[in-house]
Structure formats: C-alpha cells, structure tokens
Amino acid sequence: MSLIFERIHTDGIAELSYLIGDDSEGVAAVFDPRADIDCYLQLAREKQVAITHIFETHIHADFVSGARELCARAGSAKIFLSHEGDARYSFDHEKIADGDSFQFGSVLVTVRHAPGHTPELVAYLLAEVHHPDAPWGVLTGDSLFVSSAGRPDLLGNGQEKKLAEQLFHTLRDFYLKLADGVIIYPAHGHGSPCGANIGDRLSSTIGYERSFNAFLQLDDMTSFTAYALSTAPPEPVYYPRMKKLNTQGPVVLGNLPPVRGLPPTFFQQALEDDENVLIDTRTLLAFGGGHIKGALNIGGEPMLSIWAGWLLDPDKSILLVVESDEKLNEIIRLFLRTGYTRFVGYLVGGMAAWDSAGLPLESVGQMTVHEIRSAGEKLQLLDVRAPDEWKDGHIPNARHIFLGELRQQLGKLDKTKPTAVYCDSGYRASIATSILKQEGFGCVYNVPGSWQAWERAKFPVKKEIGDMG
C-alpha cells in the first residue's frame, strides 16, 4: 500500500493540479483539473486507480475548468464544489463546506474555508488518517502561493478591500497557525497573473513562507491591503469570461474540437469572412520571414493560452497556420485552456503549401539590439512588457505600452515612423508587431532576443525616477 501523489504542471497558464489516491483501494481524487484532461486519465491508468472525486478550490478566472469534462470521461466520478460565500453553479455537483473530510486510503483530506482571493475559495488539508490533527500538507488553491498570495481584486464592484481583509485573516488565522513543516501545494506557479511575483519553486513550507513571504510580514490590515492591491499585475481581460464560464459549467466536448484541413485556395476563401480570425502559431523568425496578410502571430508555445485570452474575440472562429500538421493537436490544447473551441480549419501543408500555390506574402523586419542602439532616436522603440518588467529597467529612448493594452493605446504611436518592438525574449514583441501590421503601421521591426539580448550585450539600462519602488 502506498500514497499516490502526482502534481501536474501546466506551462503557460502556470497551473498546478494534483492527483491524490491510494493504490491498495484503487481510488483517487483530482484537484483543480485543466480543460484538456487526458493527462489525468493517463495517470490514473498508470497508477491503476479510478478517479472517483474531482475537487475544485474555487471558481477559476484564469483557465477553463476540466471538472465536467473529467467527470464525464472518468465514469463514476463526482464533482465537489464549495458553496461558501454564497457561490452557486449551473451544473450537477456535490456541495462541500468547511470541516468536511474525505478518506483516500491512509490520506485524510479536510476542507478549510480560505477566502480572500475569492469568497468561496477552500483549501484542502492533507493528513494521515491516524493523525488527523497533524497535517503534513495543504493544497492552498489561489490563497497562498510560494513567495506570494492570491490577488484580492478580481471581483471588482468595490469588493477589493473586503476580500483583502478576508485574505489577511486567512493568512494569519489559518496558514500561520499551521506547523512550520507543513508543505504547501499551490494551484499556480511563477508566471500566473493570479498573484504578484509568485516564486519559481512549485511547493514550499509554512515555515519558509512565514520567514520570507512578503504577504506574511505585514501585521496590520491597512498596510496589507495597500500592498496586496498595489502589487497585483494587470488583470487579463478574459478573466471575467472564464469565471462566468466556470460558474455555468463548460460544455463537455468528449475530445479535442475537430479542426478541418483546408488547402490554400479554400483557406484563402475563408479569410474573406470577417467572422474568422487568422492566427499564425509559427516562431517569430518564421513569421517574420513570410506570412499571410492580416495574421496575428501568437507562437505555439504554452504562453499562447494567456495571449489568446487577452487578444482574441471568443465569438469569432479561428483559422490556423501551424509549424507542421503534426503539431495541430498540441496547439488546439493550448487554445482550449482559455476557452477557444471554434475553429474553421488549418492550412494543410502550412506556409510551404501557400508558397507553392503562388499566393501573396508579407514580412516583418528583424533588428538586432546592436542595430537598435545605433539607430538611437531615429527609431520609435516600443517596450511591450508588463509594468513590473519595465520598472526593473528598460532601453533608453523606449516608450512603454503593455501588450495587453496595445490596441487601445495605438494613438500614442506615430504610424509614419519606423518602429521596433521588444519584450523579454521576442515572443510578445512578435505578437505586437503583427498587431501593428494589422493596424496599418508601415515599417515595423521585431527584436529577436529583445531585453535578454540587450542585457547580455551590457548596453545601458534606464530607470525612471520613482521606478525603484
């Protein structure tokens, strides 16, 4: 007999879900599953257990919950959801509340209400059945992260201060009363916008966080609230949509959405429909070398999930250009995680087929950091990184517009001036250059390597007065 404890790390959305079970009884539970649920079914088969329970810590705002999909495909599983804070749902589930407990072999899972990020959020204490009062771990959801805590500002409507107060008490009256050796297992890692500056490690201990987590060093409500609200990263525009979708219950698909293969001439005809949007998922250099006019370049890396959420209208259908036909399903999974299931089709044979058909191409120039420095003020230099990245240092003469807000702030830029765009590595910069091309900017350049290349070249770095704080 042995404990089964598996953490599933979903890059891009930086989500952490868990499968916990017991191989002697052949049962397991999944906590906070993502939309593409095959990984949980595969793990269950490998461990020779049946998934009988599906738990959520809260109503997620940053990704599509896979609870209903997993419930439908796992067979006898049930979904367990918190009704704390008057949360309600529009699909079948079992209600859980503070103090409820569940046994999986030798593991006892106890529900604890931990509001602050959201009103209904619950954590799950993990203990041995014979030592229920001495938990060894806690699944914290989005309440306590490594080096951070859940942001309390997502509900809006003036509820920010109330949630910050709840978070303050959750951290002090629940987490800080646990023993130092208790391991914390959060629902997100570094890179998630659900918390400020989440640490690189995927787990920690109460003792370590007690000593080093800035959210746990503030002992008065006023300073805590100010810190929690001022450090939150920009809120992705798709968060309210995700929360609504997860409350209603995502449609059970049964598999990945079907995507038709379209040869170049049919693909070109589909481009004429204004209800379709063209997404090129190739690398920035491939896109820069030649792409279809009007394409938005969101590279086929895990971050696609987040930037699709930021930039795409969910009511439009997607036309895809992929690096190769074999990568199609991988790309579809990335879209699925933030709720995109409507696909007109993909370009069969990729850009090689488009080229062979003699169809028109556009390109984006590439500029090295050395060329950027030499150009000086003759160039309109745009930094599209997040505000905290900009504050840490930027290229002299650059102007800052966060990528998620670029379309709304295009009026700050001169369309007639040559424009080069950089981010941290070039990925987001390529998205931005494709937006500028769509909006009629004539001379646009991407900066491969971007900020990383600038720093490694040891070129000058500028910080504005007040950016040090």
Catalytic annotation, pick one of 39, 71, 194, 423 = 423
Buried b (16+ CB within 10 A) or exposed e, 237-265: ebbebbbebbeebbeebeebeebeebebe
Q: Which domains does the chain have, with CATH numbers?
A: 3-248 (3.60.15.10), 261-356 (3.40.250.10), 365-456 (3.40.250.10)
- pLDDT the model gives residue 465: 61
- Any catalytic annotation for residue 443? no
- pLDDT the model gives residue 469: 34
- pLDDT the model gives residue 1: 56
Q: Which of 386, 442, 390, 433 is nearest to 414 (CA)?
A: 442
Burial class (CB in 10 A: 0-12, 13-18, 19+), 210: middle
Question: What does pLDDT average to in each consecutive run of 10 residues of the chain (469 residues)?
Answer: 90 97 93 98 96 98 98 94 96 97 95 98 97 97 98 90 97 98 98 94 98 96 96 94 97 94 97 97 97 97 97 96 95 97 97 96 96 93 96 95 96 96 98 97 96 97 64
List all residues 6 or more positions away from 230 whose beta carbon is below 8 Å from its beta carbon: none
pTM: 0.94
Owner of token pair 């990704």:
63
